[in-house]
Structures are given as structure tokens and as C-alpha cells.
Amino acid sequence: MQVVGVTTQQEIFVASRDRKFEINEILLIEDSERSNPCGEVVETQSFNRYIPLSTEHNAIVDEKVILALKAVGYEIDKEEINLAKLRIIGEISTPVSVGSKVRLPDFGEVSDLLLQVKPQQGLTLGEIRGTGSLFSTMPGELQKVLAMYEGNRVALQKSVPFVFNYKAMNEYPHIGIFGGSGSGKSFGLRVVIEEFMKKPVPGLVLDPHYEMDFSRDFPGLKPEQCYNYRDRFLLFSVGREVGVNFEDLDTGALKGLLGAGEQLTEAMDNAVGVLHSRKDSYTSFNSKIKYMMLALEGTEPEGLAGAERKIYEAMLKIKDRVGHLATVRGIAWRLNNLFHEGLFASNTRPIEDALMAGKTAVLRGPLKLLQIYGAYVFDRLYKKRRDYRDACQKGESGDWFPPFVIYTDEAHSFAMKGDRDTLSKRVIKTIAQEGRKYGVNICLATQRPALLDDTVTAQLNTKIIFRTVRSHDIDVIKEETDLGPEESRRLPYLNSGNAFISSAITGRAIPIRFRCASTVSPHGINPFDELAEYFSDHEQTLWSAVRELLPIEEGGEHIFLPLLEKKLGKNITAQEMFALMEKYVAEGKILKEKALFGNKYLLYNK
């Protein structure tokens, strides 16, 4: 293999007679004047005497390359020629010498380029694609650090592991995971969360799809490949195990909750400020709303006495400061929606305790509810961490709260591009811009990066890009990452689980295949396999129950039906029972004979 054509400080062309190039593989260029730089194959083609070496519409070959091939002895009309376009890794001040020999390196020669930290010190996310040739020269302790998933089964590691230096997130704090449906995005998010839990780094997961349960081992993993995450995470249902303690809300936080889905109007904002008092309970605030509406209607309810009379009279005194009846009704409607979702039935204490113990708290609920509650929790926990760090900076004592990572799928629903202002968008933008100072990191996954707020996207220092098809999304990825035109053209065709990692931490875009997750989603079973299994089990249960009752005669329904219902645990009609008998007759399982009051069904003995 040798360098041909015109070279630059960034790209060269390499030709070979006897070896085909592998996309993304690392090659070493023997050019001592430039300290033997390495390059990554970003594009490759092969030609032979049956395929004309045309330069028209060719991304690699031009007239200069053809002339260079002829100059070094290639007979382009008679022999097969393998060509590769290499992108130089790192910086060199002058172009590579044409004619320089090129070879496959040993792992030791490129280890600094591929492995920033050891697996014990980082997040082992997968394999670096194109590094299979380095596996045999890699130290043994690096050869069995992960399991892969290939061809619908767990497979052995065959390449160099990709280990992400998560401690560098102190300077480059945030992660974005982009990919279309079926690309492996959610699988990749699971792997990232698993790796952070191993360290352990406290985390907060919003789980609108009810899939981030880490208690079940991935099928097919060997015992030594499994990891017990059961004591590293806790599941919480919003509105049941966790919620908002209304009495903890100051007026600003209450306005944020009421305006989380859609921003409060100026009149509503003013009305909440007038009506809410510190340490109001849900009951007391709701009573103020109720009696303010009556005061604005000019209706005095009968039989008011005691505390209720005092509230009503207080509302009469301030009704002119509140505004119109429609304004208060709008507040009441929003408040009642939150109440009926169970938001005020609990508090955030279980989440805070989980993070304080170094665990990951997984919050489950409908997407709309998570948009509201997630924003409130993000804001509350971020302020706890910020207040502690600010106190330390001032030399004061403060209540310790740990650094943590926020994870969410469907991120564009929480911080959508455009003029619409929501609490979740405001909070995520604040953390994206200021979180680094306080050790609060975000990991946002989305199918639609083009819909994610521009400010948030720009703050995602590490971007993990899976298969992406939409042109608008690819345009955003081109603008926000260091992927070259070659990688961008490949994005719509990536296999599920393959991705590019573009990060200020790695210094260049690295192609990886994510490892096999250690755990499986509750939705991991194929729904068609589930159907087949259910009907198979159901059919076996039916047959076992019927077989024990045979022979069965028409006219004896009052005897057989209760017995069959008891065995099956459900109600069944006589018509259904005899239809089942006819089905078994047709299948050859039972015989049908004429009896005194109709048909008689007997076990068929072959």
C-alpha cells in the first residue's frame, strides 16, 4: 500500500494491488519527516479491467490520481486497483510525501488515538468500527470487556473497545443522542445509563415509554457478562410515589407549574401572585380560587361561617386586583388538571433520597405529565446543587447535594425549537448553559434534532448520531458536528446500533458499534412471539380443562359449565362450550356420538 495522487495536510489517497480497504480502519503512513502520521479510511473503491476507471461523478478518482497510479507502475487497464481516501488524524504542518508506504499498525502504535482511559475509568459503550485488525495485538485485559449483539444473538468482542472519558464532562458536560426510529437510539441511551450507574453517578431519568427498567438481564448473556443493577436504580410513578408538596411551593414555582404546559397569560400571572401566599396548602389555595370566582360573579353563598366566611370576605377586598372571572377560571382549570393527575399527592423526597444515595431515579408517567413534573424536579434539584456550590464558593456551609445527570428521550418535546415558551424549555436551557459550573449534566435523546431548541443543541458537547434519514435533521448534524461529507452521506444507511460519536472530548468523530446492553426493556419481547406464546398457552389450558371433564353430553350444561368455568377462572356460555367441542372433533382430539338428549363428546383413543 502506498500514497498516490495529490496530498494535503488533511487528506491523502492510498492504493493497493492485493488488499481491499475497510471503511473506518486506521492505517499508518511511513513518512518519518512528519512523524509517521495515521489516517482513517473514510471512503474506498475497487476497480479492475472489466470496470472502466472513470473520473466522471467519482468521489475518489480524478485525473491526477490516475496519472499518479500510472507513474508508480499500476496498469489501470489490466489489473485490479483498490483505492482509499484517508483523513489524517491530528495535525501535520506539511502534506504527506507521495509514494510513502502505508501499513496496518499494531495496537501499541495507535493506542493513544483510540483509548483515552482504561475501561475501569470510563464508560465502555461499544467497539470502535474498523479496528478488527488491531484486536490480536491488543492487551488481553482489553479483549473481554464487553459483549456485542450481532445477527440476533450475543457475540464476542472483536475490536478495540470505545471507552468514553466521562470525567472530562467537567469541561464538556452535555450529551445528545440523535437517531431515527429503529436506529438503536433508545438502546444506546440504555447503555449510557447503565455505564453511569456502574460508577456510580446519580441520575434522573424521564421515562415516558415505561422501558427504563434495569432489573432483567439481557437474554443470552453469560453470568460473567451480567451486571446487577437492581440496587442502583429506583422506579417512581409520577402522581403516586412522587409528586409535589404544595406547601413547599413559592409563588414563582407555582406559576411555573401552572404555566408548564402553556405559558400563563399576563392576567393569570398577576392573579396567581395576588392569590397565593407562602405556605398555602392545596386546599387553602383552591378555596381562594373558588371564593374569588363567586366574588367576581357577585354571588354570595348561603350559610358561610367561620374560616370559609373569612376567605370569602378577603376575596371581596382584593377582587379588583385580580381582574376578570375568565382569568380565575383559567387558573382553576389548570390547577384541577394537576390535582386530578395526582401531582399534589406526594413529594420529591424519594427522588432526592435516591440521588443522595448515588442511585438513578426513573420517573414514569404520560409524556404531558412528565413535561410538567420533570421541569419542576429539574429546577428544584438543580437549585439544590447550585445553592450548595455557591455556598462553598462564598466560604459558607451548605447542605450537600450531589452532582447528577439528567436523561430523557423525546427531548424535543421538553425543549422544542420556536417561540413557544414552557417551563421545561426554560429549565433545560438554563442547565445547558450553566450546569457545567455546578456539576449538573444533561443527556438528551431525540429522533428529531431539527426540532430541538438551537441553544440547547449548541451546548451538547458530545453528540452520538445513529441512523438519520430526514434531510433537515442531517443538515443540523452537519452544522453541529465535525462529521465530514463522507460520514454524512452514510447516515441514512447505518445499521441499527452503529453510530458516530462527535465530541470535544475525543477530538474527532469516532465510528462505533454499541455494545450489547446488560439489561432488557420490559418491551423487549417481540409482540408477535408474545401472541403466539399466549395463544399456545391458552389453547393448552383449554384442552387440559375439557379433557378432565370428558365425556360431555348436550343437556348436561348445568353440570359441566360451572366445572369448566371454575377450571378456566372465567365465565363461558353453553354455546361457546359446544363450539369448542366441535373444534376438537374437527382436530381429531375427541369423538362425537348421538345420545339421548343430543350429542355426546368422548375422548378419542387412537
How high is the pLDDT of residue 75?
Answer: 65
Q: What pLDDT, in 10s, does the model give residues 437-453?
A: 999 999 999 999 999 99
The C-alpha atoms of residue 185 and residue 463 are separated, in whole angstroms, by: 12
Q: pLDDT, tens digit, for every residue of 236-252?
A: 999 889 999 999 888 98
pLDDT tens figures, 165-213: 999 999 999 999 999 988 989 999 999 999 999 998 999 999 988 889 9
Q: Work out the percent of the chain whose per-residue pLDDT is above 90.
A: 41
pLDDT (tens digit per residue) in 499-545: 999 998 888 889 999 999 999 887 656 666 666 676 677 788 888 88
Cis peptide before 200 (omega within 30 of 0): yes
pLDDT per position as a tens digit, 572-588: 888 888 888 888 888 88
Would you state the pLDDT for residue 267? 92
Do residues 496 and 468 lie in contact, with contact meaning Cβ atoms separated by under 8 Å? no
Q: How confident is the model at residue 55 (pLDDT cuts 50, 70, 90)?
A: very low
Please state the φ and ψ torsions of residue 9, each to the nearest 5 degrees. Answer: -75, -15
Q: Grid coordinates standing for 568?
A: 378456566
- Residue 77 predicted with pLDDT over 70: no
Q: Is the CB of residue 132 less than 8 Å from the CB of residue 24? A: no
Q: Are 89 and 508 in contact (CB under 8 A)?
A: yes
Alpha carbon dihedral 547, 552, 557, 561, in 10-degree steps, equals -10
- Considering the chain, what is the average pLDDT of its residues? 87
**Does the bond joining 551 to the residue before it have cis omega, within 30 degrees of 0?**
yes
Report how far residue 128's alpha carbon sits from residue 495's, in angstroms, rounded to the nearest whole number: 14
What would the pLDDT profile of 262-316 be if each residue is shown by its tens digit?
Answer: 788 899 999 999 999 988 899 999 999 998 999 898 887 877 788 888 888 898 9
CA dihedral 333, 339, 343, 346 (to 10 degrees): 150
Taking phi first (over 0 means left), then psi (-120 to 50 degrees means alpha), and beta for anything else, what does residue 598 get? left
What pLDDT is stored for residue 50 in this prediction?
A: 52
**Quick one: cell of 343?**
401531582
Asked whether the predicted pLDDT for residue 56 surpasses 50, the reply is no
Phi, psi at 360, each rounded to 5°: -105, 125
User: When comparing pLDDT for 548 and 405, which is higher?
Assistant: 405
User: ∠ at Cα 421 (206, 442), nearest 5°?
Assistant: 35
pLDDT class of 73 with cuts at 50, 70, 90: low
| SS3 call for 225 | helix
Residue tagged 367561620 (cell numbers): 306
Is residue 269 within 8 Å of 255, Cβ to Cβ? yes
Nine-digit cell string for 217: 438481564
Q: Which residues pair with 242 in a beta bridge?
A: 238
For 75, phi and psi rounded to 5 degrees? -100, 90
Please answer whether residues 157 and 146 qualify as being in contact, where contact means their C-beta atoms are separated by less than 8 angstroms.
yes
pTM of whole model > 0.85? no
Question: Is the pLDDT score of 372 beyond 90?
Answer: no
**CA distance linking residue 9 with residue 87, whole number of Å:** 9
**Which range has the top average pLDDT, 42-51, 222-231, 590-599?**
222-231
Residue 191 φ/ψ, nearest 5 degrees: -65, -45
Reported for 599-604, long-range contacts at CB under 8 A and 24+ positions apart, including other chains, are 599/553, 599/554, 600/551, 600/552, 600/553, 600/554, 601/550, 601/551, 601/552, 601/553, 602/550, 602/551, 603/547, 603/550, 603/551
Residue 597: count other Cβ atoms within 10 Å of its Cβ: 9
